Structure 1
Amino acid sequence: MQYIKIPLVLAAVLILVIVFRNRQRVELRAGSRVLVLALAAIAIVSIIDPDIPQAIANLLGVTRGTDLLLYLLIVVFVLTSLGLYFRLRDTDQHLRRLVRSLAIDDAIRKDGPPRSDADLGPDSQST
């Protein structure tokens, strides 16, 4: 047995514990949790028996098991990047609406509510 496998498996389990330890946070949705579990299982199986990824790679027509894991990692990275991009875009839009609302509230508090032309009288209308 190679002794490097023990800390690698423990690291994969530690990542799972860190991801799932705070159950009150809703940021990690069910699909993401399943994906994390699947990736951790793949990592642990790949660490314990490297012949399994090679057999799956041969079945799928990929030359090496490490190439298959690299392709899987690339797909996960792209999905994670897209998810982060959309989350940041939504947060940016929410922040923009909040800042506008606060600016309007601040202006109303300082100057009072906006007046219409009817409130100003006939002399104040521009020609």
Structure 2
Amino acid sequence: MDTELASMLGAASRAARVRMGLTQADVAERIGMASEVYGRLERGHMLPSVQNLRRLCVVLNVPPHELLGLGENLAAPPPAKDKAPGPVKVREDDTPEMRRLMRNLRKLSPVQLKLMNLVASAMQQKKK
């Protein structure tokens, strides 16, 4: 799965849903999907089928290129210049809080990650 595309599609879906004043359950019901599954889509944890993407566009009243993160000219966005390293694998013994932290860290820019690392190091030093 293309995680960058899934995140982009999820964020665009959420923005369109909020603009329309709908809940996740409203959208899920209208496209014939369980609300838990639609929540995963909005969080960028999955990609919809082509059929569900079409339904989503109709329900949210947005063109497909908007949900897919393409410009009006349908050109793909330029790649990020300072992209962070690839995703870190989740370990079996990670707590839900650790997994949530890792998801949030993956969304940060390299500069923000460096700052978070400094904060974590300072907190660890103070603990000793």
* TM-score by shorter chain over 0.5: no
TM-score bracket for the superposition, by shorter chain length: under 0.3
- TM-score, structure 1 normalization: 0.23
Report which of the two structures shows the higher radius of gyration computed on alpha carbons. 1
State the TM-score, normalized to the length of structure 2. 0.23
